[in-house]
Structure 1
């Protein structure tokens, strides 16, 4: 009887947890005016063209477009753990939408386990545009 209760509890918990991973991202975009963002729309790079680094760029002048954050979550215990590559893809996508050339000063942090997630990985960086 005790085995049936445990099994039933696991079935209920599994059905309530969902089947897909989810992720969030945000942009702190205080430095970009409306005119600059319309110019960026003309020359956007694809996400795969966005350069990523955990260092500052010192060999080329650039302007900051804003700080971006991306979080990838593991929604069930059966999904694989979020990786830095997953976070990097989200950072590249967000930077591409801003019209950035690169994301610099990238850092990662573990979000841990919460009520809605079995684990998460967060990445933050600064989206920049090179000055020509």
Structure 2
């Protein structure tokens, strides 16, 4: 490969890097005992406000609840220029996922560790059990 072609490749790679510098993404899944669970579609009116979702690393003992399922989210840093994912970012993603499925709380919340992969410059996972309070 000649020097001119190599320089073009470096410029193209650098531009791709800079264009993607402003994006972050997250994905999530719901499981129950290690198996994929089909969550029934809920109406827009049944969705909860994410800011009202309770998160706790322990159990809730003062209210009766039913388990919806275990949820898992991953917050990724897509480029080296983005901020590292924080537990607060993961907590927000957990609240949003719980709100989408109609949960009132997420119990037994735990965070993974930040890691680098082929598709991400850093990722932080969060897991918990989505529950709905019994009236």
TM-score after normalising by structure 2: 0.78
Equivalent residue for 2:47, pick from 44, 59, 64: 44
Given candidates 73, 82, 85, the residue that maps to 2:85 is 82
Q: How many matched pairs?
A: 126
Q: Distance in 2 between matches of 1:91 and 1:43?
A: 17
Partner SS state of residue 112, structure 2 = strand
Q: Is 1:94 matched with 2:86?
A: no
Structure 1 gaps, min length 5 = 1-5
Residue of structure 1 equivalent to 2:130: 127
Alpha-carbon distance between aligned partners in 1 of 2:97 and 2:81, rounded to the nearest angstrom: 28
RMSD: 2.9
Quote how far apart the aligned CAs of 1:57 are: 0.9
* Contact in 2 for aligned 1:32/1:66 (Cα 8 Å): no
Aligned-partner Cα distance in 1 for 2:46–2:107: 19
Assess if the C-alpha contact under 8 Å between 1:74 and 1:81 holds in 2.
yes
Q: Would you say 1:57 and 2:60 are equivalent positions? A: yes
Structure 2, gaps ≥5 residues long? 1-5
1:11-42 Cα shifts (integer Å, max 9, x gaps): 544433423111111112677885xx65x865
